[in-house]
Amino acid sequence: MKFPQDVPQPKVIRTFENLGFHIVRIGNHISMQRENPDGTKTPLTMPNHERLKGSTLRIICTQVKISREDFIHAFEQI
């Protein structure tokens, strides 16, 4: 399965929301956060661009420890 390329930002936000993140702040970047079962929080920051490259999405997924398969599955649900 191929990782999405050149994705519209609203779809990326909805995908991360489906994975448990919520928007904290929007400026030059979009800050999101996920509450973890152990009480910790996982931050996520992405550029506030109209479209996001596949390479950027892969880096974000690596930083927040979301597998490629999990992201693609959530992405396809939207």
Q: For the whole prediction, is pTM greater than 0.75?
A: yes
Question: How much is the pLDDT for 29?
Answer: 97
Owner of token pair 């936000």: 13
Q: Residue 60 falls within a domain, yes or no?
A: yes
Look at the chain and report how many structural domains it folds into.
1
Range of the domain at 28: 7-76
Q: Over the stretch 26-51, which tens digit does the pLDDT of each residue have? A: 999 999 999 999 999 999 999 999 99
Q: What is the CATH number of the domain that holds 25?
A: 3.30.920.30
- Percent helix / strand / coil, the chain, rounded to 5: 35, 30, 30
CB atoms within 10 A of CB 4: 19
Q: Residue 2 falls within a domain, yes or no?
A: no
Residue 38 CB contacts under 8 Å (≥ 6 apart), including other chains: none
CA separation for the pair 52, 58 (Å, rounded)? 10
28: which DSSP letter? S
Question: How much is the pLDDT for 31?
Answer: 98
SS3 of residue 37 by DSSP: coil
Q: Residue 26 falls within a domain, yes or no?
A: yes
